[in-house]
Amino acid sequence: MSLDPVFTNPDHYAVIFENERVRVLEYNDTPGDRTTPHEHPESVMYTLSSFRRRLVSGDIQRDVEMEAGSVGWLSAQVHHGENIGDTPTRAIFVELKEPAPTPGPESLGPQSG
């Protein structure tokens, strides 16, 4: 059974970009919404709105409060969540599909597409 959030929680997660290295998801919910268990690979999260959420993984529970415009690293994880605040949650996840190749001197600085 797949724990891909796009399939387990299609009302909340949508793919907005994908290539061979990353997949970008948009997440939206409203106060009181809950997700079912799903998994995330290593990701970067950018919050579009301020929110409060409860994340649960097994016996571990953590309440998270983030301000709009926050950026954070997420280690790979399996969890389910609940919007415990009074505002919608809106966030962008940039999921890494594979480890980066070993950089060479040609990779110094920004690279054009």
Reported as a single tens digit per residue, the pLDDT across 37-77 is 999 999 999 999 999 999 999 999 999 999 999 999 999 99
pLDDT class of 113 with cuts at 50, 70, 90: very low
Percentage of the chain lying above the pLDDT 90 cut:
82
* Contact status, residue 38 vs residue 27, Cβ threshold 8 Å: no
pLDDT class of 108 with cuts at 50, 70, 90: low
Fold (topology level) of 5-97: Jelly Rolls (2.60.120)
Percentage of the chain lying above the pLDDT 70 cut:
86
pLDDT class of 104 with cuts at 50, 70, 90: low
